[in-house]
Amino acid sequence: MVTFVLSLVILVVGYFTYGAWIERMFHARDERPTPALTHADGVDYVPMGAGRNSLIQLLNIAGVGPIFGPIMGALYGPVAFLWIVFGAIFAGAVHDYLTGMISIRNGGAHLPALAEKYLGKALRHVVNGFALLLLVLVGTVFVTAPAGLIVGITPEWVTVGVVTVAIFIYYILATLLPVDQIIGRLYPAFGLMLLISAVGIGGSLILRGAPIPELTLQNLHPDNVPIFPLLFLTISCGALSGFHATQSPIISRTTQREGQGRTIFYGMMITEAVIAMIWAAAAMSLFDGQSLSALLKDGGPAAVVSQVATTTLGAVGGTLAIIGVIVLPITSGDTAFRSARMIIADYLKIGQKAIGKRLMIALPMFVIAAALTQVDFNILWRYFSWANQSTAMIALWVGAMYLALSRKNFWPALLPAMFMTAVTSTYILNAPIGFGLERTLSIAGGLLITALLTGAFFTGTRRQLAGSGPEGVPVDEPVPTRLARAPAGD
């Protein structure tokens, strides 16, 4: 219990200390007009207040990741707490803040356009592929996961197929309609539901004196699955998630002032980490490694969610908590498809003012996602995890390059970028879904790839900074935003 409570305290302190330092280092300025004001179009660029944006951002990024991931990560034991706490403060929240704020400085641009600008034109195509793969996988995973939870608390005639169709209909509406019509109106209420359910379970753990294990660096996974690199892929949302880099630009287009960025981007990542801590602690307190592993193999993370909720809060409270969990994936799946629509529109230079143009992009995505719902969830999750953390790696390299070219302290972004490069490279070299190499060779290969990319980073920054002024390369000249430049009738 001491480890759990102390971890929550460290997360809060991290927001007020390291988060404030990151904000000062970035030099957010309220006098700079944001894209929500300069590019207002009534569809994607719509000014909204900080409180509203914060709850929308939380729901955008929070999916089932900060619940399912920590539940599966609980198999490793309390060492998972370290990754959630320090990963969130020094990697995840920095990642979210930088992607959100750099997007604001570049007209609300998405990650592929930012990668092209700061890492080279060839990267735009690579990142487009990564981002779209990730978003479609997220949208698909976040249809199947809530559908299973909904069926578990509804009458027998409500089948998974019926629920899946209903969720897809909602996704289509949320993807196509202006951001303030569904997302802007429903998300604040959904956000409160999420927070209430998490606080209810966390409060119950503390009040009951639940037997949450104390910190140990020992790997307690019953199948002896290695911590590196798998723990850092299993727990992504709640510590560090590339999916957030695809979501932050949605809110960068609705943020009114740069000074609101720490609350919206850094703060909501810390809030997500608190949610992840609660669910990891709950899983560890109610199950040992063997029983948790057996339940995960039998019913998946959704079965653990149901048992944790009803055990800690009773039948009624547990059902309300499950509803709060259901809200999470649905409210990330819709913005995943919305973000994919905007990325494709930017890439193909298709204006989004007319709903017909939005339909032209959105409908093929939903057809692909519907087909993917027939694929085994565990297989989808493996590909999602790797694509997710690879996207985070790219976003951190973008952030490091932006800071370096601005002659600012780039180490807060560079160090996690290097770490995640080693993690994702090692995984894809070793995993059966990748190259299937022997583990030691895969680690050596991952470190070599990291060293080569780090060398390229320093070489590239030195070359670009040579001859530049004391403020560095002018990195804040906005990326041309195709959506904003589309004719009014487009």
Please write the tens of the pLDDT for every residue from 14-26: 999 999 999 999 9
Provide mean pLDDT across the span 219-244: 92
Q: Is the confidence at residue 188, as pLDDT, over 80?
A: no
477: confidence class by pLDDT, cuts 50, 70, 90? low
Greatest mean pLDDT range, 29-43, 150-164, 297-311, 468-482: 29-43
- Of residues 65 and 119, the one with the higher pLDDT is 119
Q: In sequence order, which residues have a C-beta less than 8 Å from that of residue 286 and are 6 or more positions away? A: 210, 307, 308, 311
pLDDT exceeds 80 at position 222: yes
| For range 286-309, the mean pLDDT | 84
Which range is most confident: 20-29, 183-192, 363-372, 427-436? 20-29
Residue 283's SS3 state is: helix
Residue carrying the six token digits 């629920």: 163
User: What is the structure's pLDDT at 405?
Assistant: 93
Kindly state the average pLDDT of the residues 401-411: 95
Q: Is the pLDDT assigned to residue 488 strictly greater than 50?
A: no
Tens digit of pLDDT for each residue in 24-76?
A: 999 999 999 999 999 988 888 999 999 989 988 988 787 667 888 899 999 99
The pLDDT, as a whole number, for residue 367 is 86
Residue 455 pLDDT greater than 90, yes or no: yes
More confident residue, 345 or 481: 345
* Full DSSP string of 321-363: HHHHHHHHHHHHHHHHHHHHHHHHHHHHT---SSHHHHHHHHH
Predicted TM-score of the model (pTM): 0.86
How far is Cα 283 from Cα 306, in angstroms, rounded to an integer? Answer: 11
Q: Report pLDDT for 21.
A: 98
CA distance 464 to 232: 33
Kindly report the average pLDDT of the chain as a whole number: 86
485 pLDDT higher than 90: no
Determine the pLDDT at residue 444.
98
- Predicted confidence band at 489 (pLDDT cuts at 50, 70, 90)? very low
What are the Cα distances from residue 87, in Å, to 154, 230, 277, 358?
37, 14, 12, 37
Q: What is the set of domains in the chain, with CATH numbers?
A: 2-410 (1.20.1740.10)
Residue 394 has pLDDT above 80, yes or no: yes
Do 237 and 81 meet the contact criterion of CB atoms below 8 Å apart? no
* pLDDT tens figures, 146-167: 777 787 777 777 788 888 888 8
- Mean pLDDT for 453-476 is 87
Does residue 128 carry a pLDDT above 90? Answer: no
